[in-house]
């Protein structure tokens, strides 16, 4: 499987500040970004997979909402996560 518990713990450790800090906005954004990258590669090979396309759209919306929240709350944390993940905007 592409996303096992070890990979999740690694993402949470790197972006959330600890392996058990799964609720921070940064760790959730990092997790969504990892899943979006995986689904994007899947969609390049399977263009007619509409259920995956819908899931991908939902994940992008959730990530955007978290980024907007973080931007309103703490602009420095927002800029740091954008730079660390290499996201546009």
Query: In sequence order, what DSSP letters do the residues of 6-51 get, joined into one string?
Result: HHHHHHHHHHHSSTT--SSHHHHHHHHHHHHHHHHHHHHH-TT-HH
Which pLDDT tens digit goes with each residue over 30-86? 999 999 999 999 999 999 999 999 999 999 999 999 999 999 999 999 999 999 999
pLDDT of residue 87 exceeding 70: yes
Residue 39: count other Cβ atoms within 10 Å of its Cβ.
19
pTM score of the predicted model: 0.91
Residue 46: count other Cβ atoms within 10 Å of its Cβ.
11
Looking at the structure of the chain, the number of domains it has is 1
Which pLDDT tens digit goes with each residue over 10-43? 999 999 888 888 899 999 999 999 999 999 999 9
Query: What domain range is 31 assigned to?
Result: 5-85
What's 59's domain CATH number? 1.10.287.10
């Amino acid at each position: 499987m592409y996303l096992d518990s070890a990979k999740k713990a690694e993402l949470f450790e790197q972006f959330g500040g600890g392996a058990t800090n799964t609720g921070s906005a940064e760790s959730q954004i990092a997790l969504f970004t990892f899943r979006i990258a995986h689904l994007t590669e899947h969609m390049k090979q399977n263009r007619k997979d509409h259920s995956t396309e819908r899931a991908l759209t939902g994940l992008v919306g959730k990530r955007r909402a978290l980024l907007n929240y973080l931007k309103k709350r703490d602009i420095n944390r927002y800029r740091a996560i954008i730079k660390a993940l290499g996201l546009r905007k």
